Amino acid sequence: MKKLWFGVLLAVFIAIGAACSNVDPHESAQKHDMANMNGQGENAARNSGENLPLATNTKVLSGKEFYITAKEALLKINDKVRLPVYTYNGSVPGPELHVKQGDRVKIHFKNDLPVPTAIHWHGYPVSNNQDGVPGVTMDAIKPGKTYTYEFTATVPGTYWYHSHQNSVNQVDEGLYGALIVEPKNKATFDREYTLVLDEWMSHGNAQMNMAGMNHGDMNHGSCTGDGQTDTSGSCHDMGMYGLFTINGKSGSAIKPLKVKQGEKVRLRLINAGYMTHALHLHGHEYKIVATDGHPLNDPQPIKDKLLNIAPGERYDIEFTANHPGEWLLECHGNMKGAAGMKVKIQYEGAKSSTDKANAKEDLPAVDLTKYGKPASGPFTLDQKYDVSYTMRLGTAMGKNGMVYTINGKTYPETAPLYVKTGDRVKVKLVNASPVDHPMHLHGHFFQVLSKNGKPLTGSPLIKDTLNVKPGEEYVVAFKADNPGDWMFHCHELHHASAGMVTEVKYKDYKSDYTPDPDDQTNRGE
């Protein structure tokens, strides 16, 4: 989701020549505005990353041992837009890692970026010291340095990895990829595709962000707290994210998904962005077979219903290719980027285009709290819990603008959730703010037990990321079975960077990591 204005700025620097190597950032901001007014913004941006290699296509890597290098590249999002980005192995998304359940996995990571970074394995129950949160579980990996991550692939499913250093900006800039853990037993489908959703800033209104950007660090000038406040209460004007992508491409640049009649097809949907996307699969019945890596019990077929996927969430859906032609999976809604977030599903040998985009069509959404068949899950509402917490999610006016709070506090002042190994933990999440909060817990899965006081009536729902909408209240429960210091935060990462983070801390865990007090580069949130 790299900011295009950065490209514009770079180009302006180049355009105005070496004399300006000490240019005052405010001056560059004005120049930038002029470039936009002259309608040169896009051209300028297109030239700006000339020294960078063009991003390659995402590769699928299978095995137990992987080599990943973080480096810069120029990403061609469509015919018009190229953005300088951060990548894993030169592609956005980074390599799609396929590992086998039961395997011990090693990832040799090298940082060839100009900034410190770290990889976090989102949703995966790795041991705490491999969780990749700078300042909490490890020091950020400095430019030129390496680090080897290791974990056992205990549970199958769809996961992802991303930077957890200054993540609001580094994930925005492209540092993410899919992690697929294949089950021990044979797959139940014939073909699979992984689709990673994201949004990027488009230049049309990029200058709006200039007031809010951090001039000391232009590459990472996202939300500094004094940016624009939009109607959704975000300190970041989400309207600036006008370019939506699937696997790093937008609109017709997205590679069609080939299917053969009769095949059972699994789509693994991962939202690496900061907005919820409502997806509509045309022409087919589908089932949601898993979310956040966890299977749903006896999912019923769905037709013409929207699947909402919030930041950080994953959904595995399956359909049978029994309706030859060319169909769309498309993002619905009025958001300006929605038109770019659609991918064709092409039957081999089918004649082109039998389907029409219709992003404005009003369709009901799937309600996950009523989906699938009941079964006994690990927890119930009325059982005994060792500890219970309430997290009230709010907003407040801070010294430098809007902050996002948990029980009135911003990280690191938020009160941790203390647990000890073996505890059964119940957490009530209450959204008392005007915007969605997709809350994500590291290192554990929780069962969602009730919504707005009503017990769930469908399949047991086990997740690591749960979108809590304004006014909603959920009760979730988890077993404290993975000792460590674990983040629990909003995955609209602007909210996390503006305070909405806390930690689950095991009282009986003593980390062998102590952050270097003189190291100012760790930015785990």
Which listed range, 90-98, 330-338, 429-437, 486-494, lies at the site for ligand C2O (CB under 6 A)?
486-494
Please, which residue, 120 or 437, has the CB nearer to Cu ion? 437
Going by C-alpha positions, the residue among 469, 484, 371 that lies closest to residue 418 is: 484
| Separation of alpha carbons 380 and 385, rounded Å | 10
Residues in contact with Cu ion, shown as a per-residue x/- string from 44 to 73 under the rule CB under 5 A:
------------------------------
Nearest distance from C-beta of residue 395 to Cu ion, angstroms: 9
31 binds ligand C2O (CB under 6 A): no
Which listed range, 30-38, 83-91, 107-115, 483-491, lies at the site for ligand C2O (CB under 6 A)?
483-491
120 binds ligand C2O (CB under 6 A): yes
How far is C-alpha 305 from the geometric centre of its chain's CA atoms? 23
Sorted by sequence, the CB contacts under 8 Å of residue 175 that are 6+ apart come out as 70, 86, 87, 88, 94, 117, 162, 163
Which listed range, 193-201, 384-392, 427-435, 485-493, lies at the site for ligand C2O (CB under 6 A)?
485-493
Bridge partner list, 424: 479
**Distances in whole angstroms, Cα of residue 504 to Cα of each of 64, 120, 202, 414:** 30, 16, 37, 11
Please, which residue, 203 or 442, has the CB nearer to ligand C2O? 442
Please, which residue, 8 or 476, has the CB nearer to ligand C2O? 476
The full DSSP string for 17-55 is -GGGTT--HHHHHHHHHHHHHTT-HHHHHHHHTTTSPBP
Q: Vertex 329, ends 164 and 60: CA angle to 5°?
A: 50
Q: Where in 407-466 is the site for Cu ion (CB under 5 A)?
A: 437
Do 384 and 478 contact (CB within 8 A), yes or no? no
Instruction: For the chain, count helices (H), then strands (E).
Output: 5, 32
Nearest distance from C-beta of residue 267 to Cu ion, angstroms: 26
Please, which residue, 115 or 168, has the CB nearer to ligand C2O? 168
Which residue in 32, 162, 277, 287 binds ligand C2O (CB under 6 A)? Answer: 162
164 binds ligand C2O (CB under 6 A): yes
Number of residues that bind ligand C2O (CB under 6 A): 10
Q: Choosing among ligand C2O, Cu ion, none, which partner's interface includes residue 287 (Cβ < 5 to 8 Å by kind)?
A: none
Give the CB-nearest residue to ligand C2O: 122
| Separation of alpha carbons 412 and 522, rounded Å | 13
Q: In this structure, what token pair is assigned to residue 434? A: 């005007």
Which residue in 126, 331, 417, 490 binds Cu ion (CB under 5 A)? Answer: 490
97 binds Cu ion (CB under 5 A): no
Q: Is the peptide bond before 412 cis (omega within 30 degrees of 0)?
A: yes
135 binds ligand C2O (CB under 6 A): no
Q: In this structure, what token pair is assigned to residue 374? A: 């009941």
Please, which residue, 284 or 491, has the CB nearer to ligand C2O? 491
Which residue in 71, 332, 440, 444 binds ligand C2O (CB under 6 A)? Answer: 440
Q: In this structure, what token pair is assigned to residue 145? A: 């340095």
282 binds Cu ion (CB under 5 A): no
| Separation of alpha carbons 327 and 358, rounded Å | 12
Q: In this structure, what token pair is assigned to residue 254? A: 């997205």
344 binds ligand C2O (CB under 6 A): no
Q: Choosing among Cu ion, ligand C2O, none, which partner's interface includes residue 120 (Cβ < 5 to 8 Å by kind)?
A: ligand C2O
Q: Count CA atoms closer than 13 A to 476's CA, side-chain side.
A: 27
Q: By CB under 5 A, name the binding residues for Cu ion.
A: 437, 490, 492, 495
